[in-house]
Amino acid sequence: MSPPSPKLIHDLPTPDPESPSLSRPRQPYRFSTLCATVDSPNADHKDQHGSSSVPIYQTATFKGVAGQYDYTRSGNPTRTHLEHHIAKISSAAHAFAVSSGMAALDVITRILKPGCEVIAGDDLYGGTNRLLTYLKTHMGVTVHHVDTTNPPTILPYLNPGKTAMVLLETPTNPLLKIVDIARISAMVKEKCEDAVIVVDNTMMSPYLQRPLEHGADIVYDSATKYLSGHHDLMAGVITCNRDDLAKQVAFIINSVGNGLTPFDSFLLLRGTKTLAIRMDRQQSTAMLVAQMLSRLGFVTHYPGLPNHPGKEIHERIADGYGAVLSFETGDKELSERIVGATRLWGISVSFGAVNSLISMPCVMSHASIDPATRAARGLPEDLIRLCVGIEDPADLLDDLQHALVEAGAITLAANDYIRIPNTINKAVEKLALGEPRIQSNRIRENREWFVSAPGKVILFGEHAVVHGVTAVAASVDLRCYGLTSSRHDNKVSVHFSDISDYQHEWDIDDLPWDAATPIPPGEEHPDTLDQKLVDAINARALPPAGEMSSSAHGASLAFLYLYMTLSLGAERPSFHFVTRSTLPVSAGLGSSASYSVCIATALLLLNKRITLPPFPPRSREPAPPGDPGHLHTTHQGRRAITPTIAAEVNRWAFVAEKVLHGNPSGVDNSVAVFGGALAYTRPGFGKKSGMEQIQGFKSLRFLLTNSKIPRDTKRLVAGVAQKKMQEPEVVDKLLDAIQTIGDEARRALADPELSREALLSALSALIDENHAHLVALGVSHPALEAIKSLAGSEPYRLSTKLTGAGGGGCAVTLVPDDFQDAVLNTLVAALQKDNFQPYLTAVGGSGLGILSPYDHGLLAQDGQVNGPVTPPETPGEELDEVVHANGAASLLPQFKTLTNTQLPKWAEERGRWLYV
């Protein structure tokens, strides 16, 4: 079914006939003509040069004392043209342009006073909900969330003298529910005549819906969306017909100064000219997409579908169905796989642009609404929102179909796509992987899990990150690997190959479970460690301090802490865990973080707290030439391991890091999970915190040199903190300088126009400067200074700095692209002669990796697949010799015996790796 054609005639301003002699008057302009035609607000605004495009009056002030304009905050000719144009296409007497859609709502809600009551819908944009929550919490405004799609539900909340505003959104975002604006407006005015009816019209734009024509008092749009249409600006518009409301809105905008800038006004005015033709294409394609999803059996929310409950109301108040729809899959993880498998549909919040977007509202735009509230309002966690652009409809449909197939949601049968029921999907996954079984009160896992995570170098910001300075960090192509093997003897064991070849096993029932407080699935670990459990593990599960190294003690403690915290009731997995590392341990390259990521991933998998997507079976045909057998479920730039899984691993890896280091910054485990390069700012210092991926990061060569001097991270961190207390002005100045270095480095790394030579020169200078500040903080070491001195001497002249905690550990040396190999080899030999261990490496590779359990280790030379691994009952000597009837052997024997140089290549050849 096609969307209805927009009304041909609108009751909107149309120029008078230019000649009275015409036999008939001119016809009113159609909407698309009104969009494309920008006229002058009045005679004073006519351009003296006859410009066909409204000029940009890029000025803050205007000369003179009697003119219409004096200061752009109060008014600007470019913005006036835009506002006149918006009013014209919105059936409005007044229009105002501000800096964003949320700024528009902020202006509108400033009309409210303490003690006022607001009635709002229960399916709202997340930012709207956030602002209303703030008003409720801090401004003394009472907010009632009701189902506005059922008008009688608002009656109990209409309180004459108190109800000041009714906030509506139709269609709602993201469930596309329909609100009868006209009926609710009449009901409200009858009982509370002073209440203001406000409508968020972003989903429709003035082209498809003009709420002022149906009784609304104020309408606002996020003009970032359809009115602009290109996602190249932020803007919001407010329209109304009442002079008193217009006066209040104008006063607030002038007072707070959030009027739209002249340049953005120009861009928005340009965007509105193509509003009609863009939306015609977008909504026609949206109908095709909705019909396809509905036909496949997905619960699809789109007012153009015949079974939509609000279709009749929508057709009465709107001229089309819009270009946003959503659908449910019945499985959150399935939805994540679908979103991650698309190519044309960009994963992003927002909508309304010429390019199509896909998102999961509960994970993205509506994540600020807590899960309990989302559930109470009927917002499904598995919901996928599609925002249709102007691409060719055939390409969009084809891409979405391929994503659904790749995710395991549909399959091709009899030359047509059919949906795979979720129950069958799960059953197939369990059959293929070997479903874990609880026997003898233990999770019996019949799979090997092979995981890996990279190390890291902090390029800038060491130590300062603990005090709120942004750290710039990147992953290195040196990794920690972890392999689980099933045990069915009620024991759990570890083998830390790179920590004095340490091995230990525990009887699961003998662990101090009385001191443990397991964290249920879906809940996060508290900010502080469970000290009772830490003490119990130290006292009752670990050997005395003299019988193991401090590194083995820390690794065992972190492993057992996570194992006992993640295990619920009697469901305690029995398995063997072996780690290998191509990273130098305890050298400041994030070996503890990569280890923490490996144990967190393995334990989350074994406890079924995360599950991997089921992929279509690999073809039994030989792999094409050049195909290494890797599975990349998405196109370049997308993650095969979903963001939800990566975030869950990162949270628990951070807990392990706390066990190991007490008060870690969180940057090491973040790099080990997400890979690449990122800037990290710790929360709690009065500025924006969190991780930010450094886009456009250019691959760099570094020489990592292990000083072989152990360092005490806790002591070093404490030393800087003490120095800060004793000399706050000195240390704060150093921290500010390090922040500036990091900011300059980020700009250089992300600058596409900066030449490679200029980039390397800039980074070299910043490295030297950063190291000098770290020396001033007292965290260097004579060995590190010796490495720096040697690398900086003739003929090398390379820039070097300490990385990590300092006090020993590693130094990093930037190696230019044109640096001669022979000279580099000479430097390596000189470092080795001084008893240092250099590693030539690159930075910025993949993050967390999990080997697909479907076929690892089973690729025969002819390319055929023999089936999933089923390890033997217990680890030990038997594992070295067992070969199963299906021809699949455990990975463990080779994993234990490979050299560090052989390990990376061997691991990649085992099968299909999934990476963040």
Gap between the Cα atoms of 832 and 839, Å rounded: 11
Q: Examine the residue annotation and report whether 125 is marked as an active-site residue of this protein.
A: yes
With a CB cutoff of 8 Å and minimum separation 6, the contacts of 67 are none
Catalytic residue, from 29, 57, 125, 226: name it: 125
How far apart CA 164 and CA 184 sit, in angstroms, is 14
Phi, psi of 166, deg, nearest 5: -120, 120
At which residue do the structure tokens 């249709």 appear?
388
For residue 33, how many other CB atoms are within 10 A of its CB?
11
**Sheet strand arrangement including 810-815:** 800-803, 810-815, 701-706, 837-842
205 vs 187, 351, 914, CA distance in Å?
25, 12, 41
Task: Return phi, psi of residue 196, to 5°.
Answer: -100, 125
**At 650, phi and psi to the nearest 5?**
-65, -40
Q: What is the 3-state secondary structure (H, E, C) of 11-29?
A: CCCCCCCCCCCCCCCCCCC
DSSP, collapsed to helix, strand or coil, labels residue 203 as: coil
Helix (H) or strand (E) holding 357: strand 357-359
Residues 6+ apart with CB under 8 A from 265: 56, 76, 78, 79, 81, 82, 97
- Distance, CA of 462 to CA of 772 (rounded, Å): 12
**Which of the following is catalytic: 30, 73, 189, 377?**
73
Given 225, 337, 374, 698, which residue is catalytic?
A: 225
Q: Is 247 a catalytic residue?
A: no
What span, in angstroms and rounded, lies between the C-alpha atoms of 752 and 756? 10
Could you write out the DSSP letters of every residue in 324-352?
EEEEE-S-HHHHHHHHHH-SSSEE-S---
Burial level of 545, CB count in 10 A (0-12/13-18/19+)? exposed
Residue 200: active-site member: yes
- Which is catalytic among the residues 106, 122, 123, 200? 200
Q: Round to whole Å and give the CA distance between 492 and 602.
A: 13
Helix runs in 240-345, H state only: 243-256, 262-272, 275-295, 311-317, 332-341
CB-based contacts of 164, cutoff 8 Å, min separation 6 = 111, 112, 113, 116, 117, 118, 194, 195, 196
Nearest residue to 493 (alpha-carbon basis) of 577, 598, 395, 587: 577
Residue 410: phi, psi to the nearest 5? -135, 165
Examine the residue annotation and report whether 331 is marked as an active-site residue of this protein. Answer: no
Alpha helices in 809-898 (DSSP H): 821-833, 892-897
- Asked if 345 contacts 400 with a C-beta cutoff of 8 angstroms, the reply is yes
97 - beta bridge partners?
Answer: 237
861 phi, psi to nearest 5 deg: -65, -25
Helix ranges restricted to H, 527-677: 531-540, 550-566, 591-606, 643-661, 667-674
The one-character DSSP state at 2 is P
Residues forming the active site: 73, 125, 200, 225
